[in-house]
């Protein structure tokens, strides 16, 4: 689905929401419903949705990043249809009534503002404290986790969450380094990883390591699993679930969740037929990626994948 120039409007701080036209067409089923933006960020998708919705609609803007929450509260002061919520969507979605929402949006991963602010610790290209917490007020930082995790735990995390083949070499080097001095800065870690992982094309050697640590520190896959379950419960009949992912681990979770509720499982012909008829809960509406026009305007959309499903019952 192609995005029009009007759909590619920048946020207040100059950042572009990814797949704007496809997200709005997929997320918005009716104009007077209750909608939830689980990861408000800088509100590009939410503001686009509000432009479509009627005066009777409601939008709940959730985020655990204090800066994003401040943005959502500012929008709520301007638009009475908006309610800002401070916290993790995996914890807040279950508080909504069953079958009460017309649409739920999840825009997963790290946002452009988080990447661009070196002090947040997400970037391997800008020096800053090795933090990586979506909510810096809670939990342990990436530096804390690396200081306390065993070599095996570090290697397993890099392999499973970063799909990093050099996970054992990197983990061994991290443990050796912290024996003399703790790893506290992003560029320090990036340089350490680059010393054992060769650069391949334009991809930075530390890309997978930073992804893995971010997922661990923020329990991103656990939150996604819980959030998907809660989203299905709170969606009304005909309600839409739209999820944007940026790497294969997230997309695989979303794909399997939606497919398991939309398609009957494969039949093993060696077993007797089941007496239970499969009744789907979801209807798959499509998968979308950025087209060339959007990629020319926003290179960070190149890895974005949007999946949309509709609740049937």
Q: Using CA atoms, how far apart are residues 263 and 194, in angstroms rounded to an integer?
A: 43
Confidence of residue 17 (pLDDT cuts 50, 70, 90): very high
Task: Name the burial class of residue 80, with classes exposed (0-12), middle (13-18) and buried (19+) by CB atoms within 10 angstroms of its CB.
Answer: exposed
* Residue 52: Cβ within 10 Å count: 12
Confidence of residue 113 (pLDDT cuts 50, 70, 90): confident
Q: Is pLDDT of 12 > 50?
A: no
Mean pLDDT, to the nearest integer, of 195-208? 91
Q: Using CA atoms, how far apart are residues 161 and 184, in angstroms rounded to an integer?
A: 21
Q: Is pLDDT of 155 > 50?
A: yes
For the chain, percent of residues with pLDDT exceeding 70: 94
Q: Are 151 and 159 in contact (CB under 8 A)?
A: no
SS3 content of the chain, % helix, strand, coil (to 5): 45, 15, 40
Q: Is pLDDT of 308 > 80?
A: yes
What domains can you pick out in the chain, each with its CATH number? 5-112+221-311 (3.40.50.150), 120-219 (1.10.150.170)
Q: Which tens digits make up the pLDDT trace of 58-110?
A: 999 999 999 999 999 999 999 999 999 999 999 999 999 999 999 999 999 88
Mean pLDDT, to the nearest integer, of 31-47? 97
Mean pLDDT of the chain: 92
Greater model confidence, 87 or 268: 87
Q: Is pLDDT of 7 > 60?
A: no
Q: Are 225 and 244 in contact (CB under 8 A)?
A: no
Give residue 85's pLDDT: 98
């Amino acid at each position: 689905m192609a995005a029009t120039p009007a759909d590619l409007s920048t946020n207040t701080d100059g950042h572009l929401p990814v797949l704007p036209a496809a997200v709005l067409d997929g997320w918005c089923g009716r104009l007077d419903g209750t909608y939830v933006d689980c990861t408000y960020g800088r509100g590009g998708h939410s503001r686009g949705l509000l432009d479509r919705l009627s005066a009777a609609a409601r939008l709940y803007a959730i985020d655990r990043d204090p800066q994003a929450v401040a943005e959502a509260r500012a929008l709520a002061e301007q638009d009475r249809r908006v309610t800002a919520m401070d916290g993790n969507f995996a914890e807040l979605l279950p508080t909504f009534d069953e079958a009460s929402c017309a649409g739920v949006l999840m825009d997963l991963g790290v946002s452009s503002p988080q990447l661009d602010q070196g002090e947040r610790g997400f970037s391997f290209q800008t020096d800053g404290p090795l933090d990586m917490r979506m909510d810096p007020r809670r939990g342990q930082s990436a530096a804390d986790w690396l200081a306390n995790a065993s070599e095996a735990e570090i290697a397993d995390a890099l392999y499973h969450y970063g799909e990093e083949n050099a996970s054992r070499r990197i983990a061994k080097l991290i443990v050796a380094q912290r024996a003399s001095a703790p790893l506290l800065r992003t560029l320090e870690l990036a340089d350490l990883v680059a010393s054992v992982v060769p650069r391949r094309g334009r991809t930075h050697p530390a890309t997978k390591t930073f992804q893995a640590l971010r997922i661990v520190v923020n329990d991103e896959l656990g939150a996604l699993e819980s959030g998907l379950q809660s989203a299905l419960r709170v969606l009304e009949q005909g309600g839409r679930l739209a999820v944007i992912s940026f790497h294969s681990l997230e997309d695989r979770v979303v794909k399997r969740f939606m497919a398991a509720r939309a398609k009957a499982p494969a039949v093993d012909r060696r077993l007797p037929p089941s007496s239970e008829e499969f009744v789907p809960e979801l209807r798959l509406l499509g998968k979308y990626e950025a087209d060339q026009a959007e990629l020319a305007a926003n290179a960070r959309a190149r890895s974005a994948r949007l999946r949309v499903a509709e609740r049937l019952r």
